[in-house]
Amino acid sequence: MLMPKRVKYRKPHSHPRIKGPAKRGVSLAFGEFGLKALEPKWVTARQIEASRVTISRHLKKGGKLWVRIFPDKAITKHPAETRMGKGKGAPDHWAAVVRPGRMLFEVGGLTLDEAKKALKMASYKLPILTKFVVREHI
Q: pLDDT digit string (tens) for 29-77?
A: 999 999 999 999 999 999 999 999 999 999 988 899 999 999 999 999 9
CB 115 within 8 A of CB 32: yes
| Higher local confidence (pLDDT), 18 or 47 | 47
pLDDT of 106 reads 97
Is 11 within a domain?
no
Is 65 within a domain?
yes
CB 75 within 8 A of CB 94: yes
Is 1 within a domain?
no
What is each CA distance from 108 to 31, 55, 56, 130, in whole angstroms? 4, 11, 12, 18
Number of domains in the chain: 1
Is 49 within a domain?
yes
101 pLDDT above the threshold of 50: yes
| Higher local confidence (pLDDT), 118 or 14 | 118
Is 12 within a domain?
no
CB 51 within 8 A of CB 125: yes
Is 14 within a domain?
no
Is 64 within a domain?
yes
133 pLDDT above the threshold of 90: yes
Please give the average per-residue pLDDT across 114-130, as a whole number. Answer: 97
110 pLDDT above the threshold of 60: yes
pLDDT of 1 reads 87
**pTM for this model (two decimals):** 0.92
Is 45 within a domain?
yes
**Residue 138 pLDDT grade (very low, low, confident, very high; cuts 50, 70, 90):** very low
Residue 62: give its domain's CATH number: 3.90.1170.10
Residue 4 phi, psi dihedral angles, 5° rounding? -70, 150
CB 116 within 8 A of CB 110: no
Residue 96's domain comprises: 33-77+89-134
Please give the average per-residue pLDDT across 94-116, as a whole number. Answer: 96
